[in-house]
Amino acid sequence: MPDEKKSFADPHLLDKIDRLIACNVGEHVDLPQLVVVGDQSSGKSSVLEGLTDLPFPRSSGLCTRFATHIMFRRVPDSGTFVSIIPSPDSSPEHVKRVMACKASIESLDSEQFAVIMTEVQDVMGISADTINGNSCSAFSGDILRVEIRGPNEPHMSVIDVPGIFRGTTQGLTTKADMMLEILEMAVEVDKDGHRTLGVLTKPDLVPKGDEHSVIELLTGRRHQLTLGWNIVRNPSQQELEQIQSSTDRHAIEQAFFLPLRDRLQEVLGAHIRREFPKVKLEITKILRSCNERLDSLGPARDTPSEQSKFLMSVATRFSRLVDCALSANYNNGFFVGNDIARLATRVVRRNESFATAMEFLGQTYYFDGQSMNTIETNGDGNSEGSLVSRSETIKQIKNKLTTEGKYNICEVGIHDDLHDILDKPTTVASPNGTNVLSWLSRVYNGSRGFEIGTYDTKLLSATMREQTEHWEGIAYGYIIDVIGMVHEFICASLAQLCPDSRVQTGLKSLLMEDLIQKYKTALANVQFLLRVERTGTPTTMNHYFNENLEKCRQNRMKVSLSKVAINLQGYDGNKFVRLNDIGTTQSMSNGKYMIQDIHDTLQSYYKVARKRFVDNVCRHATDYHLLKGDDSPLQLLCPDLINTLTDTQLEEIGGEDIPQKRLRAMLKKQKEDLEAGRKILR
């Protein structure tokens, strides 16, 4: 029987590694394997022939332009099988072409190997021109796979990679420089040196007198390697032409080559035993990351049906987010730590600050006995909003009025998308400190007619219109803020549901025109409510108007009578007014009486109208037109809208752009490779 060749390591592990390489797992995970790296024409192919007994085509004019994966398998039947593994980034057409290139050969000699290499270059699309300078355009990322089977073959696998090319400077770039570059490259990927074995080729070409340099290298005094150095003899080009068989070659260099083979068996075996357990863990880790990235891309969206299904899913999930946001159900992760997403909470806070601003800044003139401090301390008898919210709003207002003399009602600011429509006045000053009775006197005296003991009801309309001048800025500032909150929520929700910026932009463009129209509707509703309250006939069925009016008159009577009230002994400090004094205290001119009556009527009606206006703006403009109504902007993105889209619109909005299609294809290929690798390792 012929002598069996000894395997480099555990045959079962080597077989699994080769199968992992065949399904491109080596592109994603570092696999323990034997790779030959060196300078151009440094004797790599000669070393490989010595290791494998495979007749590599070698000459001074040849160079390797693609990686070659050589595998030996010990099986009963003999034969050589040649195929090409396409590069992971190959186009589908290129993959189809190279995968079709397969050959089965009974035996392989040097000439036949050279023919195969030439044919493979043609299939890979490699230029046949000689490579000069540092151009690498003639190299391929494909891998030539040569599997040699036979009963006496060792279980062994080795990869030959193209030599290193660089621009050289005549007279300056030396062989030592090239060797140093290769060593530096090895250090970059193997800092501890546990995977790098140095092989010195062509020792016979060392110039006389430089032998000591070789000795220093081999003994580790120069460029020390953890695994050390080996030296092999390569035949010269003249010897290659004279040698008739590989047997002659072995006879020439056997004494040099056998120690390298033994050393490789030792090093590769130890390396595989050390690294192989890590491979499965690494495959699992990368596969998990790959699946997460694919999940983030969502389902494939190549056809109108797929695009419609995807956008339907987005619209449905958007509706769920809206329902949660409006019901303050913040269990979804989208709402955690995200104030913009908590729409109901933001709007409630803004409603309260709106009511407080109306109470504090709404009137053009302070009513009789009112001031900034009395409103802050006492309110107007039934202040709106929570105490905390009211206090914070008043503090902000006072600070602004103190530093700037006016207050900008907008708290959120105008979104970049909405500058063109939200151009309303939103700044107000503090109420006028001028005596309100003097103002009413001027108005009354400037508009009185022939009335006896009364005044024209139109006077109340005129004074109400002037007393509510600040309402416009406060109301517009409020509704602009709520519009901004709604728009921010929509944008944030789209960003959450659509990581693909193209889909975000497409949906936003689809919605924007209708969103603008609905925002304008809310603004128009505020404008309508302002017109009704400020220019319409003062009217109310609210009994609080009469109660407030009666309370005002009673308070005025109380102040007047207190001037003539007396204390009587034995009545615990209670004061009394004599009937005869009542007429005296009430004596005043008709004009003064009219002015006081106008004031009390205006104050009583103003309070009722202000509360009614705040409620109507919050209920109609905000709650109905912006939040929960059938025509709310939050109801725009829904499955019904997606059903109306044409195929062109579906492609523009839901289709994937070229970079994402490439990314998806790359991730799917990576997933296929890794899943195949995981099956191999089971």
* Same domain (yes/no): 250, 325: no
* Same domain (yes/no): 68, 133: yes
In order, the DSSP letters of 321-390 are HHHHHHTT---SGGGTT-TTT-HHHHHHHHHHHHHHHHHHH--SBPPTT--HHHHHHHTTSS--S-HHHH
Average pLDDT over every residue of 234-246: 59
| pLDDT bracket for residue 202 (50, 70, 90) | confident
Is residue 582 predicted with pLDDT exceeding 70? Answer: no
Q: Is residue 555 part of a domain?
A: no
Q: Is residue 116 part of a domain?
A: yes
Q: Is residue 206 part of a domain?
A: yes
| CATH number, residue 120 | 3.40.50.300
Range of the domain at 107: 11-294+674-680
The pairing of beta strand 34-36 with beta strand 67-74: unpaired
Q: Is the dihedral of CA 273, 275, 278, 279 positive or negative?
A: negative
How far, in Å, CA of 36 to CA of 208, rounded?
Answer: 28
Of 50-54, 106-110, 236-240, 451-455, minimum mean pLDDT range: 236-240
Of 118-127, 323-332, 369-378, 513-522, minimum mean pLDDT range: 369-378
pLDDT at 236: 62
| pLDDT bracket for residue 131 (50, 70, 90) | very low
Q: Is residue 195 part of a domain?
A: yes
* Same domain (yes/no): 248, 99: yes
* Same domain (yes/no): 283, 369: no
How far, in Å, CA of 667 to CA of 294, rounded?
Answer: 7
pLDDT mean across residues, the chain: 80
- Name the one residue in this structure whose structure tokens are 């099986």: 75
Number of structural domains found in the chain: 2
Q: Is residue 37 part of a domain?
A: yes
* Same domain (yes/no): 482, 355: yes
* Same domain (yes/no): 424, 512: yes
pLDDT at 136: 41
* pTM of the predicted structure, to 2 decimals: 0.65
* Same domain (yes/no): 162, 42: yes
* Same domain (yes/no): 258, 354: no
* Same domain (yes/no): 128, 226: yes
Is residue 480 predicted with pLDDT exceeding 70? Answer: yes
Q: Is residue 73 part of a domain?
A: yes
Q: Is residue 275 part of a domain?
A: yes
How far, in Å, CA of 609 to CA of 600, rounded?
Answer: 14
Is residue 1 predicted with pLDDT exceeding 50? Answer: no
Average pLDDT over every residue of 493-509: 91
- Name the one residue in this structure whose structure tokens are 């659509």: 498
* Same domain (yes/no): 491, 368: yes
Q: Is residue 421 part of a domain?
A: yes
